[in-house]
Amino acid sequence: MDLLLLAERENTLLGQDFLTWLWFKSEMSDGQFQLDDGERFLLFMEQRMSVQGGEGENVDTATVNSSSGDMTEVLMGLKTGKKVNRAQIRMEIDENEWQVQIKAEDFGLSGLKTPKVEMKDEEGDDPDSKFLEKIYLIEKCLSLLDSVYMDFIKIRISKEWQDEVSKFRHWLRNDED
């Protein structure tokens, strides 16, 4: 099979499995995650989310944009076999906060907001300092996302994935209680 065609199938499969799993994972752990070096951070999926199901011409999508964080409708979607295909993610370390929307099929990032970078120029500042601070914050955000993706991918290709899916189903059912 053509590598790009294969990648397209795998991209959607992995991207949607990841975002769907990530929602469950962050709910189960109260948003607590950890980097390899032990640094802790919080990660939540919030406000905007969309789920997708079906194939070919029969793709159905349900999108929720809720400021109150009511995700009932996308949960309903999950229960009918849909998967998360777009999500808004918020990450926090201490006082610092990042926000980003991520697309399952290609990991395209939009609306990436980093902690605030001071835009005023002070005398004697390195002219590149604003850029360097901003790119540091962007790369930090990417490293947090990569770290949860790495957690996911390790378990996704392992035998433990079925256990994880069982836990997921339990979580989805418990939601009704």
Partner 1 sequence: MPILSTSVGLTRYRVLEEVEDDLIRSIPDLLLKFAFKDIDHTAEERSFGWVNMDEMLDDKWNVSPPEKGQYYTFALRLDTRRIQPAVLKKHLQIALNHELEEAKKEGKNFISRDRKRELKDQVTLKLRARSLPIPAMFDVVWNAPENKIYFTCTNSKVMEMFEEYFTDTFNLTLEPLTPFFLAMNMLGEDAAQKLESLDPTYFVA
- Could you say whether residue 172 binds partner 1 (CB under 8 A)? yes
Contact in structure between 101 and 32 (CB atoms under 8 Å): no
120-139 residues near partner 1, rule: CB under 8 A: 127-128, 130-132, 134-135, 138-139
Stretch of 16-24, 35-43, 62-70, 86-94 lying at the interface with partner 1 (CB under 8 A): 16-24
Token pair for 111: 């609306």
Contact in structure between 61 and 74 (CB atoms under 8 Å): no
The distance of Cα 140 from the centroid of its chain, to the nearest Å, equals 15
Contact in structure between 7 and 54 (CB atoms under 8 Å): no
**DSSP state at residue 56:** G
Distance from C-alpha of 22 to C-alpha of 143, rounded to nearest angstrom = 16
Least Å from the CB of residue 93 to partner 1: 19
140-169 residues near partner 1, rule: CB under 8 A: 142, 146, 149-150, 153-154, 156-157, 161, 165, 168-169
Token pair for 129: 């300092």
- Could you say whether residue 85 binds partner 1 (CB under 8 A)? no
Signed CA dihedral, 5, 55, 85, 151: sign only = negative
Residues 22-51, one symbol each (x = binds partner 1 by CB under 8 A, - = not), give ------------------------------
The residue among 42 and 109 lying less far from partner 1, judged by its C-beta, is 109
Contact in structure between 107 and 15 (CB atoms under 8 Å): yes
Least Å from the CB of residue 31 to partner 1: 20
Residues of the shown chain interacting with partner 1 in the complex, contacts defined by CB under 8 A:
6-7, 10-15, 17-18, 20, 78-81, 83, 103-113, 117, 119, 127-128, 130-132, 134-135, 138-139, 142, 146, 149-150, 153-154, 156-157, 161, 165, 168-169, 172
